[in-house]
A and B are shown apart, each in its own frame.
Chain A
Amino acid sequence: MGIFGEIKKLKNIVPDEAYSKNSLRLILSEPVNEVTGFRTFLRLALRSGSAVAVAGIFLIIILGSLSFIKTFTPVGISSLDPTGLRAEAQAIDIQIELANFNYKEIAASAGFTGGAKTTAAFSKNNGPTASAPAAGPETTSSAPTIDDVLEKLSQ
């Protein structure tokens, strides 16, 4: 008998009948785990190209992060609305113009009066005198109100 005939004889190796029956009974009584079902679903979902689910998860994470930043950021984002900023900017402009106007007016009046007094004081005493500070009260006194300024501008 050739080598193939000898190998073929190995087909006579068979499992025990009682073992086989018992094994099948145990297998069929095994509950199908739900986790396996979920894993199978997940695998199929990914295999069939539904990366949309993954993209959705990322979208939720990104939106959640934005919401978190908006809620807990130290600078209130609501104060950065354009209307409020424009109003603030206009108010600053008006104040700067008022300050400039006030300064020019004071400087002009100081040029006519304080300047003459200072010159006089220098010529008499060869140095600064107590008359120089006399211009001080003029610089701090009588700041025009916005009504005065608007009235002057309208003239």
Chain B
Amino acid sequence: MLDGEKLIIERAVKRDEGAFGALYSGYQPQIYRFIFLKVRDRFEAEDMTHQVFLNAWRTINSYRDMGHPFSSWLYRIARNEVIDYYRTKKDVISLENMDPEISPVSADFSASAERGLDWEKVSAAVGSLKPVYQDVVIMRFVEDMSVAEVAAVVEKSEGAVKLIQHRAIEELKKNLSV
């Protein structure tokens, strides 16, 4: 959550470009990450992230604070965008075909010699999970979101999220051990 987020949102709802820019800077990286881990294509992820924030800018005047963080609203838009993507596009570019020069991972991370598992292997393992398992794993363990926040995004109860999380981890362990 950003500092003074409530005030920033109020200004953004009134179409204050500076306020929306602050929200964009604060949340765009994690929305991009969320989309990238689900589609595993840099350019698609960029296009879709752009579309998410464009939709957010167009409809932010209808945003109402329902007690959930602003990020939940953005994640819901992003989820719908990913669902539309898979509904219209069947072919997914595999990670093996990706150009290493345009890797979405930061240079420091790529250069790290201490990393255990390869990030591609981990992201591929996450990508092999069911869509809702992916959502929970990314939001809980990559973005450190609370169970309540994740439940608001995936529109399930907190108990259901905990159950999905447990099953997702079990499946992920199995995938990574192969």
Contact = CB atoms under 8 A, between A and B. Distances in A.
Interface string B86-114: 00000000000000000011101100000
Given A6-B116, A9-B115, A15-B46, A27 B57 contact: yes
Interface of A: 1, 3-16, 19-20, 23-24, 26-28, 30, 32-33, 36-37, 40, 43-44
A8 B142 contact: yes
User: Which range holds the interface residue count of chain B?
Assistant: 35 or more
Interface stretch (B1-9, B119-127, B151-159): B119-127
Nearest to A12: B109
Nearest to A10: B142
Contacts of A7: 122, 126, 137, 141-142, 172
A36 B33 CA distance: 29
Contacts of B32: 13-15
Contacts of B21: 24, 28
A30 B24 CA distance: 15
Given A15-B104, A20-B28, A27-B53, A10 B123 contact: yes
B147 interface: no
A28 B17 contact: yes
Contacts of B105: 12-14
B143 interface: yes
Given A3-B169, A23-B50, A24-B25, 6 more contacts: A4-B141, A9-B109, A14-B33, A15-B104, A27-B20, A27-B57
